[in-house]
Amino acid sequence: MRSESALIERIRAMAGRPQRMVMGIGDDCAIYRPSTKDDLLFTTDLLVEDVHFRRDSHPADAVGHKALARGLSDIAAMGGTPKFCLLSLAAPPWMDDKWLDMFYRGLLRLAKKTDCPLVGGDLGHAEKLMCDIVVCGAVPRGKALRREGARPGDSIWVSGRLGGSALGLEKQQGPAWKSHLYPKPRLDIGLQLRGKASATMDLSDGLSIDLHRLCSASGVSAELDREPPRFAGAAPEHALHGGEDYELLFTLRSAAVGPKGTTRIGAITPGNPGAVHLKGERLEPLGYDHFRK
C-alpha cells in the first residue's frame, strides 16, 4: 500500500484538474467560487462494506460508481446540476493498490460523465471499508425541487422501471445485476422537472417507504391506482419495496404530464399524512430503514 501522501498524489493525478475550482485536492480545504445566480445543494451518502456491498460479489469499480451515484441521485431529486464532489474513505486491511485504483476508476468515470469533479476528501483506515460521498449541485435561486409540496389532486409519477436493483441482488447476474451494480442517477429527468413538479425525491430505500416519506413531508396521503412499471423479471415486491433503484418519484399538478420515460401511478389525496394505499389496500412502508430492528 502507498503512503498517505503518495495516495493523495495518485488520486489527484487520476482526478485531473477541475474547472471552476480555485483549489482542488491537496490543501486543507477545496475552494469553490459560486455563481451569484445559484442556490447550492449539498448531500452526503454513506457506503459501508457488508451493508451496501460485499467485497466478494461487488467489483471495485462498481463500488466506486455506486458511491458517487447515490449522491448524484439526491442532486437529481432536487432538480440540480452537479458541480463537484468530495470523498472520505476509510480503507480496510484487505484493500490493495489495485482494488483502490479500480474503485477510483469507477467513481471518476461517472464523475467525468456527469461533470462532477472530485476535489477533495479524507483518507483513514477501518476494519471494514466505509466511504462517504459529498456532492455539491446547483439550481437557479429558489428553483430547487422539494419533497414537501405535494397537494391533494396532484398526480404521482415514477421514472423508469422499479425493482431491478432488488432482483439483481438476488440473482447476481444479467441486466438486473448490472442495474444494481451501476445505477444511473436521473439527472436529465430532474432537470426536466424544474418549475414543473410539486414534490420530488429519489427512490433509494423503496417506493413504499419513500412515498410514505414524501406524503409525510407534504402532510398528505397517496392512492396508487396501479403498480409501478417493473424491471423485466422483477416481482411486485421488488418494485414496491426494493431499494436502490435511484429512479425519481414526483408529483405534478393534475393536468400536467411527466417527461418521457416516466409513468403516472396514482394521485395525492387528503387524509392521514403519510398513508399510502394501492388499489384501495393499505401499502405498508416496508422499504429499508437502517434503524429498524
Is residue 19 part of the contact set for a copy of itself (CB under 8 A)? no
What is the per-residue binding string for a copy of itself in 145-174, x denoting contact by CB under 8 A? -xxx--------------------------
Q: Which of residues 202-241 bind a copy of itself (CB under 8 A)?
A: 202, 213, 216-217
Is residue 134 part of the contact set for a copy of itself (CB under 8 A)? yes
According to CB under 8 A, which one of 10, 14, 39, 261 is a site residue for a copy of itself? 39
According to CB under 8 A, which one of 57, 126, 254, 272 is a site residue for a copy of itself? 126
User: CB neighbours (10 Å) of residue 169?
Assistant: 18
* Nearest one of 204, 24, 18, 44 to 134, comparing CA atoms: 44
Residue number with CB closer to a copy of itself (176 or 201)? 201
* Nearest one of 77, 52, 78 to 65, comparing CA atoms: 52
Q: Spell 59-72 as b/e; 16+ CB within 10 A means b.
A: bbbbbbbbbbbbbb
Distance, CA of 1 to CA of 97 (rounded, Å): 6
Residue 11 beta carbon to a copy of itself: minimum distance, rounded to whole angstroms: 12
Distance, CA of 237 to CA of 208 (rounded, Å): 10
Binding residues with a copy of itself: total (CB under 8 A): 72
According to CB under 8 A, which one of 12, 105, 128, 264 is a site residue for a copy of itself? 128
Is residue 34 part of the contact set for a copy of itself (CB under 8 A)? yes
Residue 266 beta carbon to a copy of itself: minimum distance, rounded to whole angstroms: 21
What is the per-residue binding string for a copy of itself in 58-87, x denoting contact by CB under 8 A? ----------------xx-xx-x-----xx
Residue 173 beta carbon to a copy of itself: minimum distance, rounded to whole angstroms: 27
User: Residue 20, by phi and psi: left (phi above 0), alpha (psi -120 to 50) or beta?
Assistant: left
Burial of 290 (0-12, 13-18, 19+ CB in 10 A): exposed
Residue number with CB closer to a copy of itself (74 or 234)? 74
Is residue 201 part of the contact set for a copy of itself (CB under 8 A)? yes
> CB–CB of 12/3 below 8 Å?
no
* Nearest one of 228, 237, 50, 72 to 156, comparing CA atoms: 228
Residue number with CB closer to a copy of itself (254 or 272)? 272
Is residue 188 part of the contact set for a copy of itself (CB under 8 A)? no
Is residue 5 part of the contact set for a copy of itself (CB under 8 A)? yes
> CB–CB of 162/233 below 8 Å?
no
According to CB under 8 A, which one of 16, 20, 31, 54 is a site residue for a copy of itself? 31
The CA-based angle 137-106-50, given to 5 degrees, is 95
Helix/strand/coil for 35: coil
Is residue 275 part of the contact set for a copy of itself (CB under 8 A)? no
Range in contact with a copy of itself (rule: CB under 8 A) among 88-96, 150-158, 223-231, 262-270: 88-96
DSSP string covering 236-282, please? HHHHHH------EEEEE-TT--PPTTEEEEEEEESSSTT-EEETTEE
Is residue 290 part of the contact set for a copy of itself (CB under 8 A)? yes
Is residue 23 part of the contact set for a copy of itself (CB under 8 A)? yes
